[in-house]
Structure 1
Protein backbone atom coordinates (compact mmCIF):
# COMPACT_ATOMS: atom_id res chain seq x y z
CA UNK A 1 0.00 0.00 0.00
CA UNK A 2 1.36 3.39 -0.98
CA UNK A 3 1.82 6.02 1.69
CA UNK A 4 4.53 8.50 0.65
CA UNK A 5 4.00 11.90 -0.89
CA UNK A 6 7.21 12.90 -2.65
CA UNK A 7 7.86 16.64 -2.95
CA UNK A 8 10.39 17.62 -5.63
CA UNK A 9 11.62 21.20 -5.38
CA UNK A 10 15.16 21.28 -6.76
CA UNK A 11 15.78 18.08 -8.73
CA UNK A 12 17.18 18.18 -12.23
CA UNK A 13 15.73 14.89 -13.45
CA UNK A 14 13.32 12.13 -12.48
CA UNK A 15 13.57 8.76 -14.19
CA UNK A 16 12.67 5.11 -13.77
CA UNK A 17 15.27 2.69 -12.44
CA UNK A 18 14.21 -0.93 -11.74
CA UNK A 19 10.69 -0.01 -10.51
CA UNK A 20 12.11 2.82 -8.42
CA UNK A 21 11.81 6.56 -8.78
CA UNK A 22 15.31 7.88 -9.35
CA UNK A 23 15.68 11.56 -8.43
CA UNK A 24 18.88 13.22 -9.66
CA UNK A 25 20.20 16.52 -8.29
CA UNK A 26 23.77 17.56 -9.04
CA UNK A 27 25.83 14.50 -8.09
CA UNK A 28 23.20 13.01 -5.75
CA UNK A 29 20.84 10.21 -6.71
CA UNK A 30 17.93 9.06 -4.55
CA UNK A 31 15.94 5.88 -5.17
CA UNK A 32 12.39 5.50 -3.84
CA UNK A 33 10.38 2.30 -4.51
CA UNK A 34 7.29 3.06 -6.61
CA UNK A 35 5.24 0.71 -4.44
CA UNK A 36 5.70 3.14 -1.51
CA UNK A 37 4.61 6.27 -3.39
CA UNK A 38 1.07 7.66 -3.34
CA UNK A 39 1.72 11.06 -5.00
CA UNK A 40 4.56 13.10 -6.46
CA UNK A 41 4.48 16.91 -6.39
CA UNK A 42 6.91 18.63 -8.78
CA UNK A 43 7.33 22.23 -7.62
CA UNK A 44 10.10 23.15 -10.03
CA UNK A 45 10.00 24.45 -13.57
CA UNK A 46 13.33 22.83 -14.53
CA UNK A 47 12.81 19.18 -13.59
CA UNK A 48 12.81 16.72 -16.47
CA UNK A 49 10.46 13.72 -16.24
CA UNK A 50 10.94 10.83 -18.63
CA UNK A 51 8.08 9.27 -20.57
CA UNK A 52 9.04 5.82 -19.33
CA UNK A 53 8.59 7.02 -15.74
CA UNK A 54 5.19 8.57 -16.50
CA UNK A 55 3.97 5.28 -18.00
CA UNK A 56 5.16 3.31 -14.97
CA UNK A 57 3.54 5.83 -12.59
CA UNK A 58 0.28 5.17 -14.42
CA UNK A 59 0.66 1.42 -13.89
CA UNK A 60 1.20 1.97 -10.16
CA UNK A 61 -1.71 4.48 -10.00
CA UNK A 62 0.59 7.23 -8.70
CA UNK A 63 -0.66 10.80 -8.93
CA UNK A 64 1.82 13.26 -10.50
CA UNK A 65 1.18 16.96 -9.78
CA UNK A 66 3.01 19.83 -11.46
CA UNK A 67 3.04 23.29 -9.84
CA UNK A 68 3.35 26.67 -11.53
CA UNK A 69 5.70 29.58 -10.73
CA UNK A 70 3.54 30.61 -7.77
CA UNK A 71 3.76 27.09 -6.26
CA UNK A 72 0.10 26.34 -6.90
CA UNK A 73 -0.95 23.03 -8.49
CA UNK A 74 -1.32 23.61 -12.20
CA UNK A 75 -1.74 20.13 -13.68
CA UNK A 76 -2.00 16.56 -12.54
CA UNK A 77 -1.41 13.29 -14.34
CA UNK A 78 -3.18 10.09 -13.45
CA UNK A 79 -3.64 6.97 -15.51
CA UNK A 80 -6.93 6.44 -17.33
CA UNK A 81 -7.82 3.39 -15.28
CA UNK A 82 -6.72 4.61 -11.86
CA UNK A 83 -9.12 4.35 -8.98
CA UNK A 84 -11.82 6.98 -8.65
CA UNK A 85 -11.18 7.44 -4.90
CA UNK A 86 -8.06 9.52 -5.56
CA UNK A 87 -10.19 12.20 -7.23
CA UNK A 88 -12.59 12.09 -4.28
CA UNK A 89 -9.79 12.48 -1.75
CA UNK A 90 -8.30 15.44 -3.64
CA UNK A 91 -11.69 17.12 -3.85
CA UNK A 92 -12.36 16.50 -0.16
CA UNK A 93 -8.99 18.00 0.82
CA UNK A 94 -9.56 20.99 -1.44
CA UNK A 95 -13.03 21.69 0.00
CA UNK A 96 -11.78 21.26 3.58
CA UNK A 97 -8.85 23.63 2.96
CA UNK A 98 -11.13 26.30 1.51
CA UNK A 99 -13.62 25.88 4.34
CA UNK A 100 -10.80 26.30 6.89
CA UNK A 101 -9.40 29.38 5.13
CA UNK A 102 -12.81 31.09 5.10
CA UNK A 103 -13.18 30.63 8.87
CA UNK A 104 -9.93 32.52 9.60
Structure 2
Protein backbone atom coordinates (compact mmCIF):
# COMPACT_ATOMS: atom_id res chain seq x y z
CA UNK A 1 0.00 0.00 0.00
CA UNK A 2 1.38 3.42 -0.90
CA UNK A 3 2.07 5.84 1.88
CA UNK A 4 2.11 9.60 2.03
CA UNK A 5 2.77 12.50 4.33
CA UNK A 6 0.83 15.68 4.81
CA UNK A 7 2.71 18.51 3.17
CA UNK A 8 5.02 15.93 1.64
CA UNK A 9 7.74 18.51 1.07
CA UNK A 10 8.31 18.63 4.84
CA UNK A 11 11.26 16.63 6.09
CA UNK A 12 11.21 14.36 9.11
CA UNK A 13 7.52 13.47 9.07
CA UNK A 14 6.96 9.75 9.38
CA UNK A 15 4.91 7.99 6.74
CA UNK A 16 1.17 7.46 7.10
CA UNK A 17 -0.92 5.05 5.05
CA UNK A 18 -4.43 5.98 3.95
CA UNK A 19 -5.73 3.44 6.48
CA UNK A 20 -3.76 5.03 9.33
CA UNK A 21 -5.02 8.45 8.29
CA UNK A 22 -8.62 7.19 8.45
CA UNK A 23 -8.02 5.61 11.87
CA UNK A 24 -6.47 8.89 13.02
CA UNK A 25 -9.55 10.85 11.90
CA UNK A 26 -11.89 8.40 13.64
CA UNK A 27 -9.85 8.51 16.84
CA UNK A 28 -9.97 12.32 16.87
CA UNK A 29 -13.75 12.06 17.03
CA UNK A 30 -13.62 9.59 19.92
CA UNK A 31 -10.94 11.27 22.04
CA UNK A 32 -11.75 14.91 22.78
CA UNK A 33 -9.33 17.53 24.05
CA UNK A 34 -10.45 16.70 27.60
CA UNK A 35 -9.64 12.99 27.34
CA UNK A 36 -6.76 11.97 29.62
CA UNK A 37 -3.85 10.58 27.57
CA UNK A 38 -5.55 11.75 24.36
CA UNK A 39 -2.46 11.42 22.15
CA UNK A 40 -1.50 8.04 23.62
CA UNK A 41 -5.03 6.74 22.96
CA UNK A 42 -5.01 8.05 19.40
CA UNK A 43 -1.58 6.50 18.77
CA UNK A 44 -2.90 3.17 20.05
CA UNK A 45 -5.95 3.44 17.76
CA UNK A 46 -3.79 4.27 14.71
CA UNK A 47 -1.30 1.49 15.40
CA UNK A 48 1.63 0.85 13.10
CA UNK A 49 4.13 1.85 15.74
CA UNK A 50 2.91 5.45 15.92
CA UNK A 51 3.77 7.19 19.18
CA UNK A 52 1.84 9.85 21.06
CA UNK A 53 4.40 12.36 19.78
CA UNK A 54 3.90 11.15 16.19
CA UNK A 55 0.13 11.65 16.26
CA UNK A 56 0.36 14.98 18.07
CA UNK A 57 2.85 16.29 15.49
CA UNK A 58 0.66 14.98 12.65
CA UNK A 59 -2.30 16.87 14.16
CA UNK A 60 -0.20 20.05 14.46
CA UNK A 61 0.86 19.75 10.80
CA UNK A 62 -2.78 19.35 9.77
CA UNK A 63 -3.63 22.54 11.68
CA UNK A 64 -0.75 24.38 9.98
CA UNK A 65 -1.96 23.18 6.58
CA UNK A 66 -5.51 24.27 7.37
CA UNK A 67 -4.34 27.71 8.51
CA UNK A 68 -2.33 28.16 5.30
CA UNK A 69 -5.31 27.14 3.17
CA UNK A 70 -7.71 29.43 5.03
CA UNK A 71 -5.30 32.38 4.85
CA UNK A 72 -4.97 32.03 1.08
CA UNK A 73 -1.33 30.93 1.15
CA UNK A 74 -2.15 27.76 -0.79
CA UNK A 75 -3.40 28.30 -4.36
CA UNK A 76 -6.49 26.49 -5.54
CA UNK A 77 -5.64 23.57 -7.81
CA UNK A 78 -6.56 23.71 -11.49
CA UNK A 79 -8.73 20.73 -12.36
CA UNK A 80 -9.42 19.46 -15.83
CA UNK A 81 -13.07 19.54 -16.76
CA UNK A 82 -14.68 16.38 -18.04
CA UNK A 83 -14.50 17.88 -21.52
CA UNK A 84 -10.73 18.25 -21.19
CA UNK A 85 -10.77 22.03 -21.67
CA UNK A 86 -8.92 22.80 -18.46
CA UNK A 87 -10.19 25.18 -15.80
CA UNK A 88 -13.60 26.17 -17.13
CA UNK A 89 -15.48 28.54 -14.88
CA UNK A 90 -18.44 27.04 -13.07
CA UNK A 91 -20.65 29.97 -14.09
CA UNK A 92 -19.89 29.29 -17.75
CA UNK A 93 -20.65 25.59 -17.32
CA UNK A 94 -23.92 26.35 -15.54
CA UNK A 95 -24.88 28.81 -18.27
CA UNK A 96 -24.03 26.30 -20.99
CA UNK A 97 -25.93 23.46 -19.33
CA UNK A 98 -28.98 25.66 -18.69
CA UNK A 99 -29.55 25.92 -22.43
CA UNK A 100 -29.24 22.21 -23.16
CA UNK A 101 -32.51 20.40 -23.68
CA UNK A 102 -31.96 17.05 -22.02
Check whether TM > 0.5.
Answer: no
Which has more strand, going by share of residues? 1
Larger Rg: 2
Higher helix share: 2
